[in-house]
Amino acid sequence: MVSCDCSARTSTTPAKGTPVTSTSATPTPEHGQLFANPDRNLAMELVRATEAAAIRATPFIGRGDKNAADGAAVDAMRKFLSTVDFAGVVVIGEGEKDEAPMLFNGEQVGNGQGPDCDIAVDPIDGTSLTAAGRQNALSVIAVADRGSMYNPKDLFYMEKIVTGPEGVGVIDLARPIGENIRALSKAKNKPVEDMVIAVLDRPRHEELINEIREAGAGTQLMLDGDVAGGINAARGTGRIDMCVGIGGTPEGIITACAIKALGGVLQGRWYPRNAEERERAIAAGHDLDAVLTQDDLVRTENTYFVATGVTDGGLCAGVRRVGNRIMTDSVVLRSRSGTVRRVTAEHLADKWL
């Protein structure tokens, strides 16, 4: 499989949904060596695109116009992506949900000089949060080997559960939420009453929220954007122990790229919104009862996840101006090396006028 680490590209065009295979073997590290063949971290180039999107969206924070904020972020992200050394195809983009003219599904991005990759973009995960001036809005990019990302065109929503490494082999989406909370509590050696479960604040989750509280755990209700909730649960460095509920399939796939770098677990099950969507999904061959994992949603161990804060949140701080500098805070995850990098950058404001 071609690495998204600027390795040599094959000239063969793969069939849709087929991972690209490399014609050269990857060297094996010698004993005592950390890396036999150090490579470039593509995510360190991609972070410039999320930084740009977040900065350009900043003037629209709290102004009540989510479309203007999203449009500015999309334009900035696309321009920066065009300079990155990779041949990306947008699998999850803006077009299907927002009818945007740029970063649409199927669009080719990058300068074409690097590896072949699938790319998922969300220039602002939380446009409504941005427009209202609320917390937890992010600019997000996820990248994986070409042909490895599930295409969510048939089913836009899925039921999800995300935890950190302690949940591997412990949680099961098919079980009641109370059982999962108690099982994870035991695995983490943490009292149930100290457990915090993140859930999107939606009418469809009223029963789920009640069940969580009846089990003895607390809730953290998210207004929008469950990507940050899932990653915070998987990292285990904050208050959130688990993220559950029905959310977007695109967000699930983006989160899966991050989970592969964090060693956590994501399980999902398709959630048709109506009878028509159910029939279409069954006709396309989807098993609506199957419990899927991050490995089903992204079929490679070579993934990147990059996010920059637009507004302050549990994952990243938001963009802020200090004198003549613009400050950004980003997180960069890479599954191949299992690294989590924090990127705090200072940008000369005059360069962004």
Q: Which fold has domain 40-147+303-351?
A: Fructose-1,6-Bisphosphatase; Chain A, domain 1 (3.30.540)
The pLDDT of residue 157 is 94
The pLDDT of residue 318 is 97
Consult the annotation and say whether 224 binds a ligand.
yes
Consult the annotation and say whether 329 binds a ligand.
no
96 conformational bin, left if phi > 0, alpha if psi -120 to 50, beta if neither: alpha
Q: Residue 320: is it exposed, middle or buried by C-beta count within 10 angstroms (0-12/13-18/19+)? A: middle
The pLDDT of residue 134 is 93
The pLDDT of residue 59 is 95
DSSP 58: G
Consult the annotation and say whether 226 binds a ligand.
yes
The pLDDT of residue 152 is 82
CA–CA separation, 212 and 35 (whole Å): 45
Consult the annotation and say whether 134 binds a ligand.
no
Low-confidence ranges of the chain (pLDDT < 70): 1-40, 95-101, 353
Consult the annotation and say whether 268 binds a ligand.
no
Which class is 157-297 in CATH? alpha beta
- Every domain of the chain and the residues it spans: 40-147+303-351, 157-297
Consult the annotation and say whether 150 binds a ligand.
no
When the pLDDT of each residue in the chain is averaged and rounded to a whole number, the result is 87
Which two structure tokens, joined as six digits, stand for 154? 């048939």
Alpha-carbon distances of 350 from 95, 174, 184, 347, rounded to whole Å: 32, 54, 49, 9
For the chain, the straight-line distance linking the first and the last C-alpha, in angstroms and rounded, comes to 42
Bridge partners (DSSP) listed for residue 143: 119, 304
Torsions phi, psi for 324 (to 5 deg): -95, 20
Consult the annotation and say whether 126 binds a ligand.
yes
Q: Residue 327: is it exposed, middle or buried by C-beta count within 10 angstroms (0-12/13-18/19+)? A: middle
CB-CB contact of 164 with 236 (8 Å): yes
Consult the annotation and say whether 94 binds a ligand.
yes
pTM: 0.85
Consult the annotation and say whether 112 binds a ligand.
no
Consult the annotation and say whether 323 binds a ligand.
no
CA–CA separation, 20 and 94 (whole Å): 25
Consult the annotation and say whether 314 binds a ligand.
no
Strands 320-322 and 325-334: antiparallel
The pLDDT of residue 104 is 87
Consult the annotation and say whether 312 binds a ligand.
no
Place of tokens 């490399």: 22
The pLDDT of residue 17 is 39
Consult the annotation and say whether 203 binds a ligand.
yes
Q: What share of the chain is helix, strand, coil (3-state, %, to 5)?
A: 35, 25, 40
